[in-house]
Amino acid sequence: MSSTAEQVGRVIGGRYRLLAAVGAGASAQVFAADDTRLGRRVAVKLLHPALAGDATFLRKFQAEARLAASLNHRNVLHVYDWGDEDGIPYLVLEYLGGGSLRSLLDTGRLLSPQQAAAIGAEAAHGLAYAHRRGLVHRDIKPANLLFDDDGRLLVADFGLARALAEAAITEPLGTVMGTARYASPEQVEGRPVDDRTDVYSLALTLYESVTGRVPFAGETTVATLMARVGAVLPPARELGPLAPVLAQAAISEPLARLDAAVFASELELLSQELDPPEPLPLSRTDLALPGLPRGLDRDPTERFGSAGSSQVIPTLVAPATAPPSQAVPPPILPPPQVGPTTAPPSQIAPPRISPPPALSGVRRIVPAPDGPLAELPRNRRRHRWLPWLLAVLLLELVAGAGVVVASRVVWNHDTVPRVVGLQVTAANAALRRAGLTPEVSGEQYSERVGPGGVMSQLPRSGAREKAGSIVKMGISKGRHPTVLPRLAGMTGAMASSALRHAHLVPDFSKQYNETVDLGVVVSWDSLAGAKVFYGDTVDVVISKGPAPETIPADLSGGVLTWTQAESALTDLHLNPVEDLEYSISVSAGYVVTSRPSPGHTVPGHSTVTVFVSEGPPFVKVPQLYADSVAVAEQALSSVGLQWSLYGPPSAGFVVAQIPGAGTSVRVGTTVTLYLF
Q: Which fold has domain 1-97+285-314?
A: Phosphorylase Kinase; domain 1 (3.30.200)
| 1-97+285-314 and 416-476 have identical folds | no
Nearest partner of 423 among 440, 398, 404, 447, judged by Cα:
440
Q: Which residue among 34, 54, 139, 536 is the active-site one?
A: 139
- In angstroms, the CA 539 to CA 271 distance is 17
What's the maximum distance between 2 C-alpha atoms anywhere in the chain? 157
DSSP state of 520: B
Q: Domain-by-domain residue ranges, the chain? A: 1-97+285-314, 101-164+174-281, 416-476, 481-543, 549-613, 619-675
CATH class (in words) of the domain with range 416-476: alpha beta
Closest by Cα among 623, 622, 619, 630 to 668:
619
- pLDDT for the residue numbered 381: 46
- Threshold 0.75, pTM exceeds: no
CATH code of domain 481-543: 3.30.10.20
Task: Give SS3 for 316.
Answer: coil
Do 453 and 473 meet the contact criterion of CB atoms below 8 Å apart? no
CB atoms within 10 A of CB 438: 19
In the chain, the amino acid numbered 484 is L
**Residue 19: other Cβ atoms inside 10 A:** 20
619-675 is a CATH 1.20.1260.10 domain: no
* pLDDT-flagged residues of the chain (< 70): 1-3, 25-26, 52, 161-179, 283-393, 395-396, 398-413, 527-530
Residues 6+ apart with CB under 8 A from 635: 622, 624, 627
CA 122 – CA 265 distance, rounded (Å): 10
Cβ–Cβ < 8 Å for 325, 366: yes
Helical H segments across 423-553, by residue range: 424-433, 492-501
628 within 8 A of 596, measured Cβ to Cβ: no
What pLDDT is stored for residue 310 in this prediction? 33
List C-alpha distances in Å: 617 to 83, 590, 635, 642, 665: 60, 15, 17, 14, 8
Would residue 139 show up in a list of annotated catalytic residues for this protein? yes
- C-alpha to C-alpha distance for 182 and 185, rounded to whole angstroms: 10
Q: Classify residue 111 as exposed, middle or buried by CB count within 10 Å of its CB (0-12, 13-18, 19+).
A: buried
Q: Which residues contact 339 (CB under 8 A, 6 or more apart)?
A: none
Q: What is the 3-state secondary structure (H, E, C) of 323-373?
A: CCCCCCCCCCCCCCCCCCCCCCHHHCCCCCCCCCCCCCCCCCCCECCCCCE
101-164+174-281: CATH number: 1.10.510.10
Question: What does the pLDDT read at residue 501?
Answer: 84
Rounded distance, CA 337 to CA 511, Å? 71
Q: Catalogue the E-assigned strands of 555-614.
A: 575-581, 591-595, 601-602, 607-613
Q: What is the DSSP letter of 171?
A: P
Regarding the domain delimited by 549-613, which CATH topology (the fold level of the hierarchy) does it fall under?
Answer: Trypsin Inhibitor V; Chain A (3.30.10)
Q: CB-based contacts of 659: which residues, under 8 Å, 6+ apart?
A: 621, 665, 669, 671
Q: Using omega within 30 degrees of 0 as the cis cutoff, is the peptide bond preceding 659 cis?
A: yes
| 576 residue type, one letter | P
**Alpha helices (runs of H) in 37-153, residue ranges in sequence order:** 55-69, 101-106, 113-132
Q: Are strands 16-24 and 481-483 parallel, antiparallel or unpaired?
A: unpaired
Under a CB-based contact definition with an 8 Å cutoff, are residues 415 and 437 in contact? no
The pLDDT value recorded for residue 527 is 57
Taking alpha carbons only, the member of 80, 51, 89, 264 closest to residue 169 is 51
- C-alpha to C-alpha distance for 146 and 137, rounded to whole angstroms: 15
Closest CA to 109 of 295, 266, 282, 269: 282
Whole-number pLDDT of residue 392? 59
Count Cα neighbours of 472 within 13 Å in the Cβ-side half-sphere. Answer: 6
The reported pLDDT for the residue numbered 359 is: 36
Dist CA 328 CA 353 (whole Å): 9
User: Do residues 316 and 352 make contact, with C-beta atoms less than 8 angstroms apart?
Assistant: yes
User: For residues 207 and 141, what is the distance between their CA atoms, to the nearest angstrom?
Assistant: 11
Q: What is the rounded (10 degree) CA torsion for 516, 520, 526, 528?
A: -90
Question: What does the pLDDT read at residue 67?
Answer: 80
